[in-house]
A and B are shown apart, each in its own frame.
Chain A
Amino acid sequence: MRNSSVFRLAGLSALLTLLSLALLTVCGGAVFAAEPPAKLNLYIWSEYIDPEIISSFEKKFNCKVTVDLYEDNESMMAKLAGGGSSLYDIIVPSDYVVPVLVKRDLIQTLNKSHIPNLKNVDPQFASPPFDPGNAYTAPYQWGTVGLYVRRKPGQQIDESWSLVYDAKKQPGPFVMIDSMRESMSSALKLMGHSVNDTDPEHLKKARDMLIEAKGRSVGFDGGVGGKNKVLSKVANMAIVYNGDAVRGMSEDEETYYFVPKEGGEIWLDSMAIPSKAPHKDLAEKFINYILEPDVGAQLSDFNQYATPNKAAKEKVNPDDLKNPAIYPSAEIMAKLEFLHDLGDKTKLFDEIWTQVKS
């Protein structure tokens, strides 16, 4: 008797589970079916698109845009691989992950005849090394990595990476950036090498420089953390992404940002369509819309990141255009390099980075 009621209970709970399961699936299905057909699922970094661009796009194409957020390229990629590639219509990956996305078949080639506004793209950003011929991506926003420094009025600063790597020039406490390639780039550039250099001797030298500088620094931090330490006067200098610096400069006028005269790396975020995107047509329209001159300018005015859109650049807020933290001088531009995927050699960088951090 005891046994039989156990089975009754077990049966009951199994039934309940199945019922609730069926209910949820049906409800889920019904909700999806009831939505209007035109939908666009956008998967993007936080604070990276003006909500007004979304609403004007919705109005123009009579659709509903759903915005979901991710915080790093790696989790976005994991999500796509786990089924997200058939859920999202647009993603905004950083340059170095694009080859990986292509290799893993997570994004699809662009049908350029549906995206005529690709002609607006600045030749400098068309056909980037991570995606030759823009087969898979269209550029979204770009920026740099440099030094964010607190200076007293009238103080002259030698704008060089040696502020980090030369103990005599160190302007007080400083923060290093907690990112492998960015750190290596700064040391390699000071030595006059490419950010994609893989010569073991050069890398060893860069490692020693990083370890030496680490000993004098107040530690490693992400871009936002470094900026906050300069703002709160825990440090006088930090290696940061330019976007973080621009936000910091609006808080405190004694701080400013520059790309050191030796040059550095340039980054470019792009728009791409996942391989099994459910609303491909609308996704192409969205990319085309972002590449419109007016929309591109609106986007950059909102983000305070630089636009890779030549036609939009003319319409961008002139104050931002003059701001060297957003648009570096032509002289500096010539010394900026994209990070390349280093293939097998990435191992070398990983090893060095482990030694530096330990």
Chain B
Amino acid sequence: MKRNGPILSLTSILLYCFMYTPIVVVAIFSFNASKYGVAWKGFTTKWYGVLFNNEQALRAAENTLILASASAAIATLLGTLLGYGLSRYWFPRKKFVATLMYVPVVIPDILMAVALLMFYGLMRDALGIFELGLSTMIFAHITFQIAFVAVVVKARMVGMDPALEEAARDLGANRWNVFWRITFPLMFPGIMSGALLAFTLSLDDFVVSFFTSGPGSTTLPILIYSSVKRGITPDINALSTLMVCASVLLVAGVTALQPRKNYHEK
């Protein structure tokens, strides 16, 4: 194998600096004693204490977790079914449906958010349902998450050897058994990455959340964003630091849980 040249190493280092320095700065400032300032006024951990007494921030964290887990769970279920169906079966207009699936992936967030807001408004006037709140946010998140999950699951299915399923059926397994014993375990890493993707998408979504939220359903991204213009208080830095740590742990955990190699790839 060719050794990587110094230019490549340098570029990589710069790129990683570019990506991670802002996060490190936020983490450092969460320990700054100064309240509004940019100047360093000494080390303190008191903002973490302030944060845990900040009822609004805690409620936002709770809302964020409920929203992310509920929407990711439903979207993973539906997205997996969609991805499975699209890669295993033929039906009329399949190509059209498959293309349609990419719309939520490429559509600008703001368009989606405003469209959902208008749709909810219409439904509310016509049927009296979809009062803005955590439930409308969950639906909104599911709408864009499904596509991402389906794309990931479909990609996973494409890489699977159909001979394995055929062999199982050849040996007398019925459809149900084939699915649960062969197909599902092979799909599982794809489903997990889809679920994780859906979860993180929900976790840091601001635009769609802002427009579809109602009283009392403020999430962390909304809380953080609305603190920016008045000057970020250090407890928000503390909160962001904790969020980054939680995300890193989550990703590390999922990576550790995943089997390193699947047997058919050996």
Contacts and interface: CB of A to CB of B under 8 A. Distances in A.
Residue from B89, B134, B228 having most chain A Cβ neighbours under 10 A:
B89
A57 to B, nearest CB: 15
A21 B216 contact: no
B133 A28 contact: yes
Contacts, number: 127
A167 interface: no
Interface residues of B, number: 51
A232 B38 contact: yes
A28 B137 CA distance: 12
A24 interface: yes
Contacts of B222: 69
Given A20-B74, A231-B38, A6 B231 contact: no
Interface string A1-26: 01101100110110011001100110
A235 to B, nearest CB: 12
B67 to A, nearest CB: 12
A224 B230 contact: yes
B230 A45 contact: yes
Contacts of B34: 251
Given A46-B226, A66-B215, A68-B213, A6 B117 contact: no
Nearest to B231: A224
Given A24-B139, A66-B215, A228 B226 contact: no
Nearest to B85: A9
B228 A88 contact: no
A169 B49 CA distance: 46
A82 B110 CA distance: 14
B231 A87 contact: no
A41 interface: yes
B39 A232 contact: yes
Contact of B215 (A47, A87, A228): A87
Contact of B124 (A45, A51, A83): A83
12 contacts: A3-B89, A9-B89, A13-B82, A16-B77, A28-B135, A47-B231, A68-B215, A82-B120, A82-B121, A87-B131, A248-B36, A251-B34
Nearest to B216: A66
Contact of A46 (B38, B139, B175, B230): B230
A83 B120 contact: yes
Nearest to A70: B226
Contacts of B213: 68
A238 to B, nearest CB: 13
Interface in B193-228: 210-211, 213-216, 218, 222-223, 225-228
B39 A82 contact: no
Contacts of B192: none
A321 B208 CA distance: 42
B112 interface: no
B162 interface: no
A75 interface: yes
Given A17-B78, A247-B36, A87 B214 contact: yes
Given A13-B78, A13-B81, A41-B216, A247 B39 contact: no
B214 A46 contact: no
B240 interface: no
